[in-house]
Amino acid sequence: MAAPTPTTDIAVLGALSVEPMSGYELRNAIQDVLGHFWSESFGQIYPALNRLREQGLVDARPGERASSSVFEITAQGRARLSELLSSPIRDRPPRNGLMLRLFFGRHLGVDQCMALLDETEATARSQLAHLRATHAEVEREDLPDAPYFLITIDLGIRTSEATLEWVDAARERLRRLDTMTSPLEQH
């Protein structure tokens, strides 16, 4: 009967430890703020919220709208959060579809690989812009959580920057490959 490690509970309790909110807002908050390293769907959030309420880890009080509830973390919930945060990290094995395609890129061709790099660059750039904006916002607000928020944002920024540098290097490598094989002899 080993307790499963419900990582969803960490995200939910953690978000509610910052500020009480509805399930809907919870999902948006997770998407906006934790989006670069975490994600939760409604299909996870609502059942989790009900379960946590039954366990006394969150309280539900009626929201401004008739159909909405505002969920608030309880003292027990905070204790549980600390406990969950200390639990061993069960990382799912990595699965990076982009890398898989580039690794076998010889069967895909230089042009399509270049297109994948373009996509990657665009994604990294927009992510970087979003992270820098969030970074500035967190520094402005001066919350008690701020140093921890900034640490995670910082990794996102560094990773995005490294990705952009890598894209350039990868393009260069593909270009060299192209000029070496293409003008002389195909295949």
Partner DNA sequence: CCGGCCATGTAATGTGTTACATGATTTA
Partner DNA sequence: TAAATCATGTAACACATTACATGGCCGG
Per-residue tokens: 17: 């430890």
> Which x/- pattern over 2-41 shows residues binding DNA (rule: CB under 7 A)?
--xxxxx-------------xxxx--x----------xxx
Rounded CA-CA distance 50/70 in Å is 12
- Closer CB to DNA, residue 62 or residue 109? 62
Segment interacting with a copy of itself (CB under 8 A) among 4-12, 49-57, 59-67, 134-142: 4-12
Concatenated DSSP letters of 61-114: EE-SSTT-EEEEE-HHHHHHHHHHHHSPP-PPPP--HHHHHHHTGGGT-HHHHH
Per-residue tokens: 166: 């890598």
Stretch 59-88 residues interacting with DNA (CB under 7 A) = 63-69
Task: Tell me which residue of 177, 163, 168, 179 sits closest to 99, measured CA to CA.
Answer: 163
> Which residues would be at the binding site for a copy of itself (CB under 8 A)?
7, 10-11, 14, 17, 34, 36-39, 78, 81-82, 85-86, 89-108, 112-113, 144-145, 147-152, 154-155, 158-159, 161-163, 165-166, 169-170, 173-174, 176-177
